[in-house]
Amino acid sequence: MFLAHTSANQADQLAAAVVGARAMFEGGLFDSVVAGCQPHQISAAGSPERVAHALRRGTQCKQDLLAIDYFSVADQPLVDLQEAWGLKD
């Protein structure tokens, strides 16, 4: 798990980044590819479940998604990448 390899300071910075991103989505300040720029994206019905599901999938991911050259895998089918990286439901 990613947090197991972070220092306390890095974990604090990560937590602050997550809180900041959530605030931008909730306030409608951040244009989402999925939901557009609508306020209350996180407090809307079903959002806590979607976030919990995304976090659960993230812990099961076998690939560091920040360490990928996405151009090198762009020609591969998305479902194959999801399965290889442990992102299939």
SS (H, E, C) the chain: CHHHHCCHHHHHHHHHHHHHHHHHHHHCCCCECCCECCCCCCCCCCHHHHHHHHHHHHHHCCCCCCCCCHHHCCCCCHHHHHHHCCCCC
Instruction: Kindly tell me if the per-residue pLDDT of 6 is higher than 60.
Output: no
pLDDT at res. 83: 92
Residues 31 and 64 in one domain: no
**Same structural domain, 21 and 38:** yes
Give the Å distances, CA to CA, from 1 to 58, 63, 71, 88: 9, 11, 25, 18
Q: Is the same domain home to 39 and 50? A: no
**Residue 85 sits in the same domain as residue 70:** yes
Averaged pLDDT for residues 54-72: 88
pLDDT at 5: 55
Q: What pLDDT, on the 0 to 100 scale, is given for residue 34?
A: 59
What is the tally of structural domains in the chain? 2
Q: What's this model's pTM, rounded to 2 decimal places?
A: 0.46
Structural domain including 67 reads 46-89
pLDDT tens digits along 20-48: 877 776 776 666 665 566 666 677 788 78
Whether residue 16 is predicted with pLDDT greater than 60 in this model: the reply is yes
